Amino acid sequence: MIPSGGVARTGAPAGGAGGVRARLASMITLHQFEVSPFCDKVRRILHWKRLDYRIQEVPLLRAPGIRRINPIGKLPCLEHDGTFVADSTDIAYYLEERFPEPPILPRDPAERALCHVLEDWADESLYFYEMRLRFTLPHNAKRWIPELVHADSRVLKALAPHLLPGMLRRLTRKQGVGRKSLQQVLADVARHADALAGLLEGREWLVGRALSLADLAVFAQIRCIRGAEEGARIIEACPAVVTWMERVEAATAKPV
Ligand SMILES: N[C@@H](CCC(=O)N[C@@H](CS)C(=O)NCC(=O)O)C(=O)O
């Protein structure tokens, strides 16, 4: 567990998607930052598999404490019966092994390979675009920085709008996307959106005939990109992407 300061709350209540009761999978705790696309991806896997879980929201100020449960210092980290699994991809494979139904990984080797490649595209490329758009452009940061520090102290909430956009800008600069002009970034995002629309042409899901981890990983990043004004304009110009997002949302939203 993250030492004191984390906000514990329950995730999916019993009564899952399609009216089926959520499965009590011993005790699953998701240590998370609510606004992280990787945490959204894991929550959606848990919803899809109708697994009951609780959330441990980690305030940003407590982030150094994450190393106790994940030496890499990143979230999400899943705690299951005393075992900690970090990294959304590793968490996905762990959950698939323990709770195989309904699956998120295609059985066919070629489809499974494509699923992995698309997941990696989402996690390692699209992520930096969403970060650049949501947190480093002032008008978007105004909306998203308060979300990032929603579980933090009043002092951090007051300082965050002044400190965090610069810190995140430096991070995206190190990676590379942050060195591009906004015009270049938007051209890249439009190309990614077109590629996604192309992949979805004539199909309901990205890989094979069923929802897979590829859909969840790409959806989580595109949803964040759409959370920025400029990203929303690009995504909403692609009807196939919007329809697919509605499909993924309907299949993996938090059960009510
Ligand atoms: N590859 C990781 C990426 C996770 C990640 O980058 N998480 C961010 C939040 S979106 C984080 O914890 N950042 C804190 C840090 O880098 O110190 C995954 O799939 O889980």
If DSSP codes are grouped into helix, strand and coil, which group holds residue 12?
A: coil
Name which of 133, 18, 4, 139 is nearest 59 in CA terms. 4
Query: What tokens were used for 77?
Result: 């980290």
Q: Higher-confidence residue: 73 or 15? A: 73
205: Cβ below 6 Å to ligand 1? no
CB of 175 within 6 A of ligand 1: the answer is: no
Q: Each residue of 21-60: pLDDT tens digit?
A: 456 568 999 999 999 999 999 999 999 999 999 999 999 9
Residue with the smallest CA separation from ligand 1 atom 12 is 74
Tens of pLDDT, residues 103-141: 999 999 999 999 999 999 999 999 999 999 999 999 999
Determine the pLDDT at residue 256.
83
Nearest CA to ligand 1 atom 11: 74
Q: Is 87 in the pocket of ligand 1 (CB under 6 A)?
A: yes
Nearest to 174 by CA among 128, 126, 120: 128
Domains, in order of start, for the chain = 7-98 (3.40.30.10), 109-252 (1.20.1050.10)
